[in-house]
Structure 1
Amino acid sequence: MNKSYIKIALTLLSVAGYIQNIAFASESASSTNSSNGGEQEVCDNPKDVQQQFYDNPKETKHAEKFMFEALSLLKKHAKHTDDYEIYKEVDDEAIVYYKTVDGIDIGKLELKIPNADNYDGIINMLWDPRGAENFDGSFIDGSLVRIYNENLVILEQRHKCMVKSWTGYYHALAKKFILSENETAIVLASSNINVHDPNEEKKFVNPLVKSAKLFNPVIDSAEDIREGQLSKMYINLLGFIVKREPDCVKITYLISVNTNFRYWVPNWTIRMGIANKMYDIIKLRDIFQQE
């Protein structure tokens, strides 16, 4: 493999890593509201949180519709593995799959973590904006750039490549769903969010979540994004379904990414990078077995 392919492969090892940290804890996250440029901090007091919500009923309605379709797709693709191929069977309780839908790759991880008492802790770690620090060495930072309600936000995530100074980022809408007392879903997807990135030459069209086309907010992004210093990527669909079973916690993790590379990259290289970051999610098992 030549030097350019090595760089690509190492870069891709970071791709899903900065996708993993989609958790948004209301007690510790902060963001910038583009309507007034002021800093928002999501805190414990519900009254304080409510005062910080972005007040745009039409945009919020489109955001909710977008996320409910994303949840429906997450459930559909997580339901079974009949149309997937096994990428790697790590062991009996951790299996990585792949499939292609209309030319779009979708990766899937099925993971079991012993002890049902770990349910709340796992969700808290996934919902914590700094939770990925526990299992992802490429994580730089995450912030909420718009808050519609305590469970519906626009997230910005940044990660660094393991070598050199490459920094990538994405913006995506995300929502946490309490499906039942014993089941929670966290869903994430990108749309055509305008962040004033000069490198963004055309509008992004989400190939999986069709209602994303209705969600086109404008974000007051950071200076380095406006100056085109970072590499932008998009989330077609990403999500966790966390379910408490009698003797374990079952996690189904789904991921589909648009790497937005300007040059040709072999598909096996992209799959390798995404798969390696699915392996990072498996580290949750070791973390919670030690507790």
Structure 2
Amino acid sequence: MNKTYIKVYLALFSIAGYMQNVTFASETETVAYNCTKHGTLRYKPTSVYDQYRDEASVDLDEALAVTNYARQASDLLIKLSEVNVQDYSTYSTENGNIIYTKKIGNMDIGRLDFTIPSSSKYPTVYRQYWDFRYEKNPDEKIIQGKVVRVYCVNTALFEKHNPDPNYTPLKKIYTLGSRIYLPEITVIVCPSRILNYDGEINQETGLEEVYKNQKLFELDIDPEEALNKYGDNLSGFVIRKGDDDQVHVTYIN
């Protein structure tokens, strides 16, 4: 089992453990808004905005560029969640969930499918999984990293450190997280797709052109092939409100 495969495997088991232990937050938050002009900081203040005032961005051109960039990842995650897993290897978790894994070229794809009883929990699920507020303990949230820019309640840029031990000191990397909400399906793009940017990001850093110049996924080909050709990590949740009174969740890494 190679190192990359082990990382994917451990990430999926970590998510599976989170699903087993998570206690859903109370449904007191307002309905989520996507990154439109009515969802920016000037129009819809929330606790997230209150916590990250210094990281707030009101540049609408940059917000549009970042939304288009995030939408690409969202579209690919949906396509990957619809792939037949018949030729995937399977592993069972302690709570009965099944982890699916497959190696495609140089990429190791992992997938975890599970259901949550009662479709009424759909809003609670997409809020809980996206919650990255800083007062929560790391083991209480999935979205990790230091927030360096907030575009709207559903889109934020995170600072992390490259885990490669060959980098000394650790190199700062930047990665976007987003939540794209629809009444029947929500996609949460976890901050795992590294931004091709070598500088350090602060309040004065303009990123519109950076987002526009990022490498794109080829969405008109097989989704597994598209991920392999892209050659970088992508992870996230596809959350569906089912017709069978359940919430169907697929996590892909």
Separation in 1, partners of 2:250, 2:77: 10
**What does 1:43-58 align with in structure 2 at a 5 Å threshold?**
43-44=45-46, 52-55=56-59, 57=61
Among 234, 237, 243, which residue is 2:234 paired with? 237
Query: Could you tell me how far 1:71 is from its partner in structure 2?
Result: 1.2
Runs of 4+ in structure 1 deviating by more than 6 angstroms, as ranges, are: 45-51
TM-score, normalised on structure 2? 0.56
| Letter matched to residue 156 of structure 2 | V
| Letter matched to residue 252 of structure 2 | L
* Structure 1: runs of 5 or more not aligned: 22-26, 28-41, 161-166, 198-209, 215-233, 256-291
Query: Could you tell me how far 1:192 is from its partner in structure 2?
Result: 1.1
Separation in 2, partners of 1:111, 1:80: 15
| Letter matched to residue 119 of structure 2 | A
Separation in 1, partners of 2:67, 2:53: 17
Query: Could you tell me how far 1:156 is from its partner in structure 2?
Result: 3.1
Query: Could you tell me how far 1:62 is from its partner in structure 2?
Result: 3.4
TM-score, normalised on structure 1? 0.49
Among 212, 215, 231, which residue is 1:213 paired with? 215
Partner of 1:259: none
1:169–1:50 distance in 2 versus 1, CA, 3 Å: closer
Q: Deviations over 1:32-55 (max 9, x none)?
A: xxxxxxxxxx95289979993242
- 2:250 is the alignment partner of 1:252: yes
Query: Could you tell me how far 1:212 is from its partner in structure 2?
Result: 3.0
Q: Secondary structure at the match of 1:16?
A: helix
When the two structures are aligned, how many residues end up with a matched partner?
187
| Letter matched to residue 103 of structure 2 | T
Among 11, 19, 22, which residue is 1:16 paired with? 11
Query: Could you tell me how far 1:81 is from its partner in structure 2?
Result: 2.5
- 2:123 is the alignment partner of 1:120: yes
Q: Deviations over 1:247-283 (max 9, x none)?
A: 322110011xxxxxxxxxxxxxxxxxxxxxxxxxxxx
- C-alpha contact 2:49 2:153 (8 A) present in aligned 1: no
**What does 1:261-276 align with in structure 2 at a 5 Å threshold?**
none
Q: Structure 1 vs Structure 2: percent identity of aligned residues?
A: 24
Partner of 1:80: 83
| Letter matched to residue 237 of structure 1 | L
Partner of 2:195: 191
- C-alpha contact 2:237 2:249 (8 A) present in aligned 1: yes
Query: Could you tell me how far 1:193 is from its partner in structure 2?
Result: 3.1
- C-alpha contact 2:160 2:172 (8 A) present in aligned 1: yes
Separation in 2, partners of 1:106, 1:13: 7
Q: Secondary structure at the match of 2:84?
A: coil
- 2:127 is the alignment partner of 1:106: no
- C-alpha contact 1:50 1:149 (8 A) present in aligned 2: no
Separation in 1, partners of 2:8, 2:82: 27
* Structure 2: runs of 5 or more not aligned: 19-28, 30-43, 164-169, 202-211, 217-230
Query: Could you tell me how far 1:157 is from its partner in structure 2?
Result: 5.1
Query: Could you tell me how far 1:185 is from its partner in structure 2?
Result: 0.9
1:76–1:131 distance in 2 versus 1, CA, 3 Å: farther
Q: Deviations over 1:159-206 (max 9, x none)?
A: x9xxxxxx9985311221112x23211113222133559xxxxxxxxx
CA RMSD of aligned residues (A): 4.6
1:64–1:13 distance in 2 versus 1, CA, 3 Å: closer
Q: Deviations over 1:110-147 (max 9, x none)?
A: 111223233222222211113752378xx9x6332112
Query: Could you tell me how far 1:98 is from its partner in structure 2?
Result: 1.4
